[in-house]
Amino acid sequence: MSIEEIAREAEEADGAAPLDEATWRALRHPDRVRTWEREDGFALLVGDELTLVVRPAARRRGVGRDLLGEVLVAVDGAGPLLAWSHGNHPGAAALAAAYDFARVRDLWVMRRDATQPLPALEPREGIEVRGYRPGDADEVVRVNAAAFAAHPEQGAMDAAELAERMSADWFDPAGLLVATEPGSDRLLGFHWTKRHSPELGEVYVVGIDPAAQGRGLGTLLTLAGLHHLTDAGVREVLLYVESDNAPAIAVYSRLGFRHDDVDTHVQYRRG
């Protein structure tokens, strides 16, 4: 079976996609991915991040252990190895414990019922919120790099990756909301929304220039994006947030987002 077929079966069985967007993008560039494939499973290594997926019908037969063993032999001495369990799967936890992977990071999915009323979007003096324009690309990259300087995935986005993301079928310039001061092309922050389907939207990325912190831009842009998605007809909005990011979780909670334990993605580290 192909990687796509195995991933689809796993998502249907587990309720969580086993490959994230960054991994799918990497697969478009074979030179960036090391691959181990079997009929019933596969392992992918992108940089130091490992993804391992086994067909639901072939689980508990040692396929995952065999694949992981091959990977560990191949990367022996290469440094630390990271691995995600999307949905905190018990099988992944057992495999991690057996091979000395420590749980080092929890990423939460928070969800909001879009049929619930939103606070009104009040104009903010000295701040304009509008949709993306082609000339904004460099500023989006700049703000993103500054806002996510310590983030292991998002902060690395460059102009080429931004263009690649914007080439996706779901990209809508009107859904990439940016904040500026009137008359200025310099961005203070942005909220990139995403629609997975007519009924499901996402707070994809909210980035605020550190130099503009303290002006309430996070709440303003998040709320503007939620209004955009709600006006488009979605019935649920999700977002991803680090479990230890208390300020962001507080903002999202005030806006009606909730987290359930089953909506937790776990990162493990070995070495």
- Note the pLDDT of residue 119: 93
Its pTM stands at 0.88
Q: What share of the chain is helix, strand, coil (3-state, %, to 5)?
A: 35, 30, 30
| Ordered per-residue pLDDT tens for the chain, 271 residues | 899 999 999 999 998 999 999 999 999 999 999 999 999 999 999 999 999 999 999 999 999 999 999 999 999 878 899 999 998 889 899 999 999 999 999 999 999 999 999 999 998 899 999 999 999 999 999 999 999 988 767 878 999 999 999 999 999 999 999 999 999 999 999 999 999 999 999 999 999 999 999 999 999 999 999 999 999 999 999 999 999 999 889 989 999 999 998 899 999 999 8
Mean of the per-residue pLDDT values of the chain: 94
What residues have CB less than 8 Å from 47, skipping those under 6 apart? 32
Rounded CA separation 129/224 (Å): 8
End-to-end distance of the chain based on CA atoms, in angstroms? 32
Q: What values do phi and psi take at 82, rounded to 5? A: -110, 150
Are the beta carbons of 217 and 188 closer than 8 angstroms?
A: yes
- Note the pLDDT of residue 151: 78
Instruction: Walk me through the domains of the chain, giving residue ranges and CATH numbers.
Output: 3-108 (3.40.630.30), 117-255 (3.40.630.30)
**Dmax over Cα atoms in the chain, in whole Å?**
63
- Sole residue written with tokens 């630390």: 80
**Angle at which helices 246-254 and 217-231 pack, to 10 degrees?**
40
Neighbouring CB atoms inside 10 A of 35's CB total 11
Are the beta carbons of 191 and 225 closer than 8 angstroms?
A: yes
* 19 closest CA partner among 46, 40, 57: 46
